[in-house]
Amino acid sequence: MAKIPAAAVAAGGLVGGYAVARWTKKRPLGGVALLAAGAVAATQWQQAAGTKATIALSSAYVAAFAGSHPLAKKLGAWPAVFASAGTVAAASWAVTRRAQNS
């Protein structure tokens, strides 16, 4: 079975967590989706790039989640979520690619 890249898992967690929370109207359920995807991505980051990268990327994941809230007031909810997800995906891709090429 092919492994889904950590960048896609992390971005999907941010988008999926928001979608679940919005469509079910249950924010904690969206948090579960966000947390589950974050845990999967963190496991992959650890395997690919080590502890320091995992801490940095996990921090970026949480910061993107938190940052999407004030950003939503300026851009709208979905654009803010997509911008945050794209930023985390790009960081994840760059860090894991660099680690693989080292």
Tell me the pLDDT tens digit for each residue of 47-59: 999 999 999 999 9
Q: How would residue 99 be classed by pLDDT, with cut points 50, 70 and 90? A: confident
Query: How far, rounded to the nearest angstrom, does the alpha carbon of residue 88 sit from its chain's CA centroid?
Result: 6
Is 52 within a domain?
Answer: yes
Which structural domain range is residue 76 located in? 7-100
Instruction: Provide the number of structural domains found in the chain.
Output: 1
- Under 8 Å CB-to-CB from 37, ≥6 apart: which residues? 9, 10, 12, 13, 14, 16, 17
Task: Determine, yes or no, domain membership for 1.
Answer: no
Predicted local confidence at residue 44, as pLDDT: 96
Q: Considering the domain boundaries, does residue 12 fall inside one?
A: yes
**Is 51 within a domain?**
yes
Residue 36, phi then psi, degrees to nearest 5: -60, -45
* Domain presence at residue 47: yes
Q: What is the pLDDT of residue 1?
A: 55
Chain segment 5-43, per-residue pLDDT in tens: 999 999 999 999 999 999 999 999 999 999 999 999 999
Is 90 exceeded by the pLDDT of residue 101? no
| Structure confidence at residue 21 (pLDDT) | 98
CA 90 – CA 72 distance, rounded (Å)? 20
The verdict on residue 34 lying in a domain is: yes
- The residue assigned the tokens 């080590």 is 50
